[in-house]
Amino acid sequence: MMASLHNNMATEVRLPQWSMGMEEGQVVTWHKQVGDVVAVEEPLVEIEAEKTTDDVLAPVAGTILEILVSEGATVPVLTVLALIGEPDEAVASPTPDRPPVQITPVARRTAKELGVDLAAVTGTGPGGRITEYDVLSHATDTPQDAVGERTPGSTAVPLTGMRGIIAARMHDSIQSMAQLTLTRQIDATELIAYQQALKAEGSGVSVTDLLLKAVAAGLARHPVLNATLEDEVITQHDDIDLGVAVALDDGLIVPVVRDAAAKSLAELSGEVRYLAERARTKSATPSEISGSTFTVTNLGAYGIDAFTPIINPPEVAILGVGQAVEVPVRDGDDVAWRQMITFSLTIDHRAVDGAPGAQFLQTLAEIIADPAALND
């Protein structure tokens, strides 16, 4: 929560930045009204931001003197939402001409790149929201319907909301890092058989759960990968806070299993299911979808063999998991059919060299070959 002094010592309640990718938030519901008395850390307003919904809490005790952003409005992070002070304090009232103009993050970036004054742009989105389409239209000084041709049978989808945030973060990731991807096929025959045996006993543990447990165990041996890089400082973290990518209809979200290496297989499995469900229903809190130290993304369910995952900044590595494929492997004079999975490890070469990445994949192969140990 950010608070500062404003108008005769009244305290500003600002929209916090709950995660690195958050650029704006929408006011959903005010829990308090002007004149209400509030206590410290009492919920004031519900905000929908990036990929979650949460409450902004009162930074101080006092009386709500002004509410500056109405329900339904979307504003940038650090915008003053309300003022708290003493009942008799005089505060400057905002000019009651019109509500704050909603501007998508992509529109802001495009306007900055093109030198467009957003105050001169007319928004055509819901509620007058300014989109990238509007900025481009203004910049080219052409009619609205001439920007981005829309032919019959086609649909124009603005790069906004969650999709816009993901686009911005992935673009930043590629532009700011020296990314290198290492791939290795790992024999997962024993692990898959072990999961089937657990299933026959009534366990709900999935192959993905076993792989996540194996990754956590591997990171414990290779802490150089369980790290973040910010402000030219590499931080290796003691706890392995494992991000697990979950696909949604409008994008991707990464719930975080805290201290994954310290959890039992059953605990990890249960937490993964719980967090995935909260992510899909958009009820996850900011703390549940931020602060990961390493991310795993699994596209095996979609029939993908291998791919190049993009690092989730400020992490220094991400692991992509492909589908299990049955392949023939020489077994003495015979041929055995084995279940092989391709793992794709992308590292930020500024923080991690290729050899440590390869060593991690080697360790992961050894752990997967003895899956029963994951259930100790």
> Could you please report the per-residue DSSP string of 90-104?
--PPPPTT-PPPPB-
Domain membership flag for residue 139: no
Residue tagged 């996850």 (tokens): 284
Compare 141 and 157 and report the one with higher pLDDT.
Answer: 157
CB neighbour burial string for 250-259, b if at least 16 within 10 angstroms, e if fewer: ebbbbbbbbe
Please state the rounded mean pLDDT for residues 321-332.
93
Higher pLDDT, 270 or 24: 270
| Nearest-5° Cα angle at 279, 273 to 282 | 140
Please check the confidence at residue 94 and state whether its pLDDT lies above 50.
no
* Rg of the chain (C-alpha set): 25
Q: What CATH number is associated with residue 9?
A: 2.40.50.100
Residue 101 resides in a domain: no
Residue 367: its H or E element? helix 354-368
Number of folded domains in the chain? 2
Are residues 161 and 250 in contact, defined by beta-carbon separation less than 8 angstroms?
yes
pLDDT greater than 70 at residue 132: no
**Does the pLDDT of residue 161 top 80, yes or no?**
no
Average pLDDT over residues 221-245: 94
The answer as to whether 160 is a domain residue is: no
CATH number at residue 210: 3.30.559.10
Residue 96: pLDDT band by 50, 70, 90 thresholds? very low
Print the domain residue range for 42: 5-85
**Catalytically annotated residues:** 349, 353
**Cα dihedral value 186, 271, 279, 2, nearest 10:** -110
- In this predicted structure, which of 64-73, 155-164, 169-178, 288-297 has the lowest mean pLDDT? 155-164
pLDDT tens, position by position, 249-301: 767 889 999 999 999 999 999 999 999 998 888 788 878 888 899 999 999 99
Which residue blocks in 65-206 are alpha helix, DSSP H? 105-114, 132-140, 161-176, 189-200
**More confident call, 92 vs 370:** 370
* Residue 56 burial (CB count, 10 A): 22
Token pair, residue 133, equals: 């389409």
pLDDT tens-digit profile of 184-198? 999 999 999 999 999
For residue 135, being part of any structural domain is answered with no
Task: Classify residue 237: in a domain, yes or no.
Answer: yes
Contact of 105 with 163, CB cutoff 8 Å: no
Q: Are residues 202 and 328 in the same domain?
A: yes
